[in-house]
Structure 1
Amino acid sequence: MTIGPDGFGVDDLHRIARLRHHVRLSDDSRQGIRESRRIVDGLLRDNAIVYGITTGVGDNSKIRISPEESVELQLSLVRSHASGVGDPLSLEETRAVMTMMIRNLSLGYSGIREEVVDLLLDMVNHNVVPRVPRKGSLGYLSYQAHIALVLIGEGEASVDGSLISGAEALERRGLSPVILKAKEGLSLLNGTCDMVALGGLAVHDAIVLLKSADIASAVSFEGLRGNISAFDSRIGAVKKQRGVGTTAENLRALLQGSSLAEGSSSNRVQDALSVRSIPQVHGAAKDMIRFVSSVIEDEMNSATDNPLIFVQDEMSLSSSNCHGESVAMALDMLAIALTELSSISERRTFRLTSAHHSGLPPFLSPNPGTDSGYMIPQYSAAALVSDNKRLAQPASVDSIPSAAGQEDHVSMGTSAALKSLEVVENLSQVIAIELLCACQAMEFAPDEPRGEGVAAAYGTIRETVPKLERDRPVHRDIESIRSMVLTEAVADAVEQVIDRLHTI
């Protein structure tokens, strides 16, 4: 993959961070990096007053420093800012942050030397992954500092499954550490790279889960013998929210061929809200995630260093593009949208397993009384949803002054990103539990014609997870279905027999 001036998106991040696609910089990007460095060198020669170049940083910005001291400052910045705590990020998450650092620096507004960016590229391409503690970022600085430590031959990194010193990690791949020059330590640390990286992975996964959420709801709808008139195209046409119409269209496609489509008169006049309002709730989540995705991708293509170098005007401007408020707010919204998807999914699981709501055997067990069936998977879903409700509380409304008051309002965007990833993980489990129960519900009406999409999902799941005949440990079944959801195996099977499902 080539990183250039043109747009960079969440799918690109996923391919580099997780699928380990090789990455290079375009010639245009390289030219921009060289030109911005030329401006920094000129500012140093002129002894201009420039934040982080000829001054200290944070509350130390009032203190002038010499060009020689500026070089010392860069090393001190990297070492002092590497103060994260707790368990490390996953290798994929760290690769994502490294990728966003490259993307930010590639825009040509940082004044960093090409060779420093090249070493970051080599580390990504050769899978030298620094150890980055998960906690301790207000939205920037600490994650990138731990990555930058390895660039200078310090810190720790994972290579070939072993955690070794940064110097040894580089040597093992035939790479050499860099000696940072003026502004380079600051540029490596600055920007919204960490929150955008983690948030970008969360958005990618959220979009993947949207199809499976619709599929699971359709299988549940079939098992509960719902009234399909709730998904009539005329209803979506008069609700001026895009996601409502596209979700109803998905459901009609998934249920095409079902006996439920033959007429509504034999079914109840109106289903419970968790059943009849699938388009309205899933659709709202789709609309919110579409907005969040646009915010994240706009940030991915923004220069977020401080100060910024403007080559055309041959000057540097101090700014606050490194403030991640837009991203933080958007990721809080992502957590809310995904929590609502998990909440309505669990409510359908509750109805499937409640005999007086579903008309099905208690807890979907063929042997109620002696067997508990799927009583406890619903407990698990309820616990996950309860966790999501807590995680959906916004991080972006909080701020604690830092740097002796110089940074007196921060975004908490990294916290918003971390909790969004946790909500995504919980949602994938909740959807898997709904599919587990919904497929079991269909076992009690084996001769009923099923929707083509529903039948494809059911068949794919049954290839791995057999129907429940007597009680057995089901945690492996849930994990198997979750794996099929995350790898899109269920969605792919469905889309082989019906039109492509809408997401955002």
Structure 2
Amino acid sequence: MDGRALTCAEVALVADGQARVELDYEAVSRAEQSWQLAGDLATRRHVYGRTTGVGANRDEAVPAEAAGDYGLRLLRSHAGGGGSPLPAPHVRAMLLIRLNQLATGRSGAHPRLPTALAQALADGALPLVHRFGAIGTGDLTALAETGLALAGERPWAVGHLPAIPIDTGDALAFMSSNAATLAESALVCVGLDRLLRASHCVAALSYVALDGSPEAYATPVHEARPHPGQVECAAEIRRLLGMHGVTKPGSRLQDPYGLRAFPQVQGPALDTRRYLEQVLEIEINASAENPMVSVADGNVFHHAHFHTAYLALALDQVRSALHSVAELSAARLGDLVEPAFTGLSPFLAAGPPGSSGVMILEYVAHDMLTQLRQAALPVSLGTAVVSRGMEDHASFSTQAARQTAAAADAYQQVLACELVAAVRALRMRHAEMLDIPARTAFDQACAVLDADLSDRSLTADVQAAADLLPSLADL
């Protein structure tokens, strides 16, 4: 970790325990210089959170006789998180991001803090951190709980480290970050990348089952309106289906929107997810601490980098786009149970007349769509006035990250329902696909989905399909 080049993909690897973390030696040196400068400046001028209180107490000077334990008192007062503990991958990602931010050398925190975070990640030690307590202007409760664990005052959820001293200026310098929110956002961003790539495979299988028209994916069509995500989606469907050269007419003059408009709706989802990743990779390599200590300028700057409007708005966009592609998935599911589109029995039933087949999958999918619709409401429309009116705006990126994670889970279930129905339709048609990537997706799905077409519970099938989706992203 050097504070410069951490990626969302690397955050996910560390969160899953698949990568080892080392702190760059020069980062420790930068932290040392920043700490020394901050201490020197605090003897000559007021520095927020170091010689003064915080929030509306910004003008309250910390008296010399109370300065000795001010850092610990600040951590104790802010360690009021509520709700359930954060899961281990989320906590690991938070520790990693905070370590990387501290490695930029602008926080003014003692170098033993980033060193301790690196040691915690190396040893697998995780503090007990609670979910609630942030509104997108700093994950104060989560990081205060972490700081007190490092100081030996709060429990560790897994393992432990020897306690380290917390100086007067260390507390705010350590807490002044959105590392927990960024961690959840980075993990969901990586998960959505795989889910959206897998959705191309699911849509391609539905295309085959519905005997779709290739004209909607033709290269000339998308060269005429070349939005990057739209072009990417159409090219991916052509690759999965082995479409080459001049397209042939489909069985219908025009397909329903679930097939025909897939590139135009999937494209924004691909583009907004990519933009989210760009925002995150700026944030996780940024010096967000307020105040910021600049060794190069020999000065300290008070600012508002703690405000994460970029992140909140990017997450809002992603959820809105995700809801649209989920609607198309549910629409294709509706087409798959309609004999007019498949030539098969209603609801893909294989039993006597009146059998229900996969009828219930539409109910499951639309239940999830309702969850997606609720999650898609923009958090950036909210407002908050706290700390006696001093802090009169919030991004709510923390809530946006939670809602995006919930939306991704719901979308995965919608896609799983479509995949179960598409594979069933292809089995009923005894489809013989050529040696194309879509065939590999079909074979992998057949290996985990029950071939029994009689009326029965489909709960296990939907779960197996959901579990399979991430691996389809690599086809």
The interval holding the TM-score normalised by the smaller chain is: over 0.9
SS at match of 1:214: helix
Counterpart in the other structure of 1:364 = 348
Counterpart in the other structure of 2:27 = 29
- Larger deviation: 384-393 or 60-69? 60-69
Counterpart in the other structure of 1:263 = 248
Counterpart in the other structure of 1:431 = 415
- Whether contact under 8 Å (1:67, 1:182) holds in the other structure is no
Tell me whether 1:92 sits opposite 2:92 in the alignment.
no
SS at match of 2:14: helix
Shift of 1:19: 2.8
What are structure 1's unaligned runs of at least 5 residues? Answer: 160-168, 495-504
Between the aligned partners of 1:126 and 1:484, the Cα distance in structure 2 is 32
Counterpart in the other structure of 2:239 = 253
SS at match of 1:476: helix
Between the aligned partners of 2:69 and 2:153, the Cα distance in structure 1 is 16
The correspondence of residues 40-55 of structure 1 with structure 2, limited to 5 A, is 40-44=38-42, 46-55=43-52
- Whether contact under 8 Å (1:220, 1:352) holds in the other structure is yes
- Whether contact under 8 Å (2:433, 2:439) holds in the other structure is no
Shift of 1:42: 0.9
* Cα shift readout 1:252-302 (whole Å, capped 9, x = no counterpart): 1111179xx98325x110011111111111112111111111111111121
- Whether contact under 8 Å (2:3, 2:102) holds in the other structure is no
- Whether contact under 8 Å (1:20, 1:125) holds in the other structure is no
2:384 to 379, 397, 400: 400
Counterpart in the other structure of 1:196 = 182
The correspondence of residues 343-492 of structure 1 with structure 2, limited to 5 A, is 343-367=327-351, 369=353, 371-450=355-434, 452-486=436-470, 488=471, 490-492=472-474
Whichever residue aligns with residue 288 of structure 1, its letter is: T
SS at match of 1:463: helix
What are structure 2's unaligned runs of at least 5 residues? Answer: none
- Whether contact under 8 Å (1:439, 1:458) holds in the other structure is yes
Between the aligned partners of 2:25 and 2:193, the Cα distance in structure 1 is 32
Aligned residues with identical type, % of pairs: 27
2:16 to 18, 24, 42: 18
Counterpart in the other structure of 1:157 = 156
Between the aligned partners of 2:361 and 2:438, the Cα distance in structure 1 is 21
Counterpart in the other structure of 1:166 = none
SS at match of 1:386: helix
SS at match of 1:107: coil
Whichever residue aligns with residue 102 of structure 1, its letter is: L
Question: 1:462–1:230: structure 2 CA closer, same or farther, 3 Å change rule?
Answer: same
Between the aligned partners of 2:387 and 2:109, the Cα distance in structure 1 is 24
Between the aligned partners of 2:403 and 2:190, the Cα distance in structure 1 is 15
- Whether contact under 8 Å (1:218, 1:251) holds in the other structure is yes
Counterpart in the other structure of 1:229 = 215
Shift of 1:450: 4.7
SS at match of 2:131: strand
Counterpart in the other structure of 1:109 = 106
Question: 1:178–1:276: structure 2 CA closer, same or farther, 3 Å change rule?
Answer: same
Shift of 1:131: 2.2
The correspondence of residues 318-357 of structure 1 with structure 2, limited to 5 A, is 318-357=302-341
* Cα shift readout 1:235-261 (whole Å, capped 9, x = no counterpart): 010112011111111111111179xx9
Quote the RMSD (CA, aligned, Å).
1.9
User: TM-score, with normalisation over the residues of structure 2?
Assistant: 0.95
Between the aligned partners of 2:440 and 2:65, the Cα distance in structure 1 is 67
Counterpart in the other structure of 2:145 = 146
User: TM-score, with normalisation over the residues of structure 1?
Assistant: 0.90
Counterpart in the other structure of 1:180 = 166
